[in-house]
Amino acid sequence: MSDAKTELKPESKYPKPPARARPALSRHVQAWIDQCVELCQPENVFWCDGSPEEKQTLLKRGVKEGAFIELNQEKLPGCYLHRSNPNDVARSEQATFICTPSQDMAGGTNNWMEARSAYAKLRGLFSGCMKGRTMYVVPFVMGPIGSPLAKVGVELTDSVYVAVSMGIMTRMGTVAWKQLDAGVSAADPDAEPEFTRCLHSIADCNPQRRYICHFPLDNTIWSFGSGYGGNALLGKKCLALRIASFLGQQQDWMAEHMLLMGATSPEGEKTYVAAAFPSACGKTNFAMLIPPQKYRDAGWKITTVGDDIVWMWVDDTGRLRAINPEAGYFGVVPGTNDQTNPNAMAAMQRDTLFTNVGLLPDGDVWWEGKTPEPPAECIDWTGQEWTPGSGQKAAHPNSRFTAPMANNPALDPAANDPAGVPVSAIIFGGRRSRVVPLVYQAFNWIHGVYLGATLGSETTSAASGHVGVVRRDPMAMLPFIGYNIRDYLVHWFRMRKKMTDCPRIFHVNWFRTDDRGRFLWPGYGENMRILKWIIDRSRGRAYARETLIGWMPRSSDIDLDGVDVSFEQFEQLQAINVDDVKAEVMSQEELFLKLAGDLPKEMIFQRELLISRL
Ligand code: GTP
Ligand code: SPV
Ligand code: MN
């Protein structure tokens, strides 16, 4: 394919046919874009090529239109602030639909719309919705270029914020057209190339007319009425989790809501670990962990492959391997500071978009927890003047930073490796102030899948709705499974059969509190101590006791030297109360009922075994 930049101006005035603007494009891709242009009737079409110059153009345009506020460029070069509509600050799970011919394909945990009526409804909404606006054509690749799992998507959006964000979060631009071309077979050059059709309009950002619709059978996503990350950056949750989980089930691979980290020991032994925690439950922080001084002195190093999504497959030798499909981080800011996550702080020093944080008088940003003392004043995330006594939050609890992963000082060297990395351990974890111990290990894969499937967590501000209620969040994927959860669980059990030596599975909870509501475990960097035990268990080196819920370390099996946790406190962290476990089993009933009649037998047997151990 010839270079797009030499052939066309970035913007072509509609209704000049985009077909002539992009002669090298597959006619199938072109035809789809033409249809969307006809439907949405944008005034202009802007073809993104992913170049640094183009990013500057888009940022300038965003500043002019009010989508971005330029921050202090001396302190924060290349950084901008975006304030969203106050009604549009988190994922809208109620407005998220799996659209298939039958409801059974979506299953009991998803909102479902019949595919044809969903198209009809959304066609009505999209019709003419970009009048007077620019449509950005954003081609992107999810996954390292050349990876067998890498997928191409094209997002058509009328939001400059979305276009710039996609440029950070994905491998965006001409590279995607090339990858698409590379996928076309020589035998049938006119065959339809495989790509995800992503259509997005923020429209008038009305929550009553907000729909995030997935058509897994058509490899298509239509998102209307929201500009928020998980609803609008369609490569992320929509493609890389919902559509990808469906494709993975069909094609024998897995798309999971997991971080992926490498741990290098003083001896130079490298272990990769993946961990599934629900939204705003610590993936970014764990993935960027900086070990305590003593571990660093000894030579331990943690590196990040990904902080939110992994795609995994079983290689020829029977090992589970994984890639991070993303190229950036869309991370929670509140609570992030130089103590809790210095790597994230470093990553957001440049070329970062901040969404819904406070703006300081000198053009710097602030959020709750950034500094021990709040600033004397700032402009809060809604654009109002703010002082510490105002009783409001300066930053929205779900305010976010969008930074290229290349900014992470601890980026793993394999983050761009198409071959991915081998996974030795999988960790499930939730946010549980009570009941659930700090760490334990599943008896085996099937038990581990049961633990993942029954994962409970207190809800957070990452999704709109109540915060702090325990809900079941199977594999931290409840909002992201793109098909029937019954088939998803069966898929997890089946994948085991392809593996020769499967990863060990663990469960953690960094969030257990004492009677006064204080965290019992210091968390963050100190989680290294737990990770060390997990690595040693995965490699057959550490001791564990058999308990009714799984294998557990004794206090002597975890290094507590140099951390402010007494042996008694550790016992409190690891305590299991039989009555609590019974109540926990009962509270899983709700999930089991959603699966009624469809429950994989392994789930029933594991539950029976647990009950018989009580
Ligand atoms: P998503 O991006 O929504 O998928 O979230 P995430 O899982 O990446 O969550 P993240 O790491 O951003 O953490 C969210 C919140 O949990 C932040 O407010 C953190 O400060 C807090 N947090 C993370 N790790 C720990 C920990 O080890 N202990 C405690 N107490 N809090 C933590
Ligand atoms: C999450 O909610 O799990 C996120 C943020 O990672 S978003 O991409 O907006 O879904
Ligand atoms: Mn997430």
Q: How far apart are the CA of 517 and the centre of ligand 3, in A?
A: 26
Residue to mutate, 89, 277, 332, ligand 1, most ligand atoms under 8 Å from C-beta: 332
Instruction: Please state the φ and ψ torsions of residue 414, each to the nearest 5 degrees.
Output: -90, 5
pLDDT in tens, 102-125: 999 999 999 999 999 999 999 999
pLDDT in tens, 35-82: 999 999 999 999 999 999 999 999 999 999 999 999 999 999 999 999
- 40 catalytic residue (yes or no): no
CB atoms within 10 A of CB 206: 15
Residue 12 pLDDT: 61
Nearest-atom index, ligand 1, CA of 462: 3
Q: How far apart are the CA of 283 and the centre of ligand 1, in A?
A: 6
Q: Which residues line ligand 1 (CB under 6 A)?
A: 277, 279-285, 307-308, 331-332, 334-335, 340, 462, 510-511, 519, 523-524, 527
Helix (H, G, I), strand (E, B) or coil at 270: strand
pLDDT in tens, 418-467: 999 999 999 999 999 999 999 999 999 999 999 999 999 999 998 888 88
Q: Whose CA is nearest to atom 5 of ligand 1?
A: 280
Nearest-angstrom CA–CA distance, 357 and 260: 27
pLDDT in tens, 199-212: 999 999 999 999 99
Average pLDDT over residues 235-258: 98
Query: CB–CB of 33/154 below 8 Å?
Result: yes
Residue to mutate, 84, 88, 91, 242, ligand 2, most ligand atoms under 8 Å from C-beta: 91
Query: CB–CB of 242/257 below 8 Å?
Result: no
Nearest-angstrom CA–CA distance, 173 and 139: 5
Helices and strands: H and E segment counts in the chain: 20, 33
Nearest-angstrom CA–CA distance, 446 and 608: 13
Residue 1 pLDDT: 36
pLDDT in tens, 71-94: 999 999 999 999 999 999 999 999
Helix (H, G, I), strand (E, B) or coil at 359: strand
Residue 14 pLDDT: 53
Nearest-angstrom CA–CA distance, 334 and 398: 7
Q: What is the DSSP string of 537-589?
A: HHTT-S--EE-SSSEE--GGGS--TTSS--HHHHHHHH---HHHHHHHHHHTH
pLDDT in tens, 536-586: 999 999 999 999 999 999 999 999 999 999 999 999 999 999 999 999 999
pTM, whole model, 2 decimals? 0.96
Residue 9 pLDDT: 52
Average pLDDT over residues 251-258: 98
Residue to mutate, 258, 259, 285, 340, ligand 1, most ligand atoms under 8 Å from C-beta: 285
Q: Which residues line ligand 2 (CB under 6 A)?
A: 91, 229-230, 236-237, 279, 308, 330, 462
β-partners of residue 428 are: 276, 507
Nearest-angstrom CA–CA distance, 372 and 28: 55
Average pLDDT over residues 594-607: 90
Nearest-angstrom CA–CA distance, 481 and 216: 11
- Host H or E run for residue 215: strand 211-215
Instruction: Please state the φ and ψ torsions of residue 351, each to the nearest 5 degrees.
Output: 50, 40
Q: How distant is the alpha carbon of residue 459 from its chain centre?
A: 16
pLDDT in tens, 266-304: 999 999 999 999 999 999 999 999 999 999 999 999 999
Q: 135: which residues sit within 8 A by CB, 6+ positions away? A: 14, 36, 37, 40, 42, 44, 45, 46, 156, 157, 158
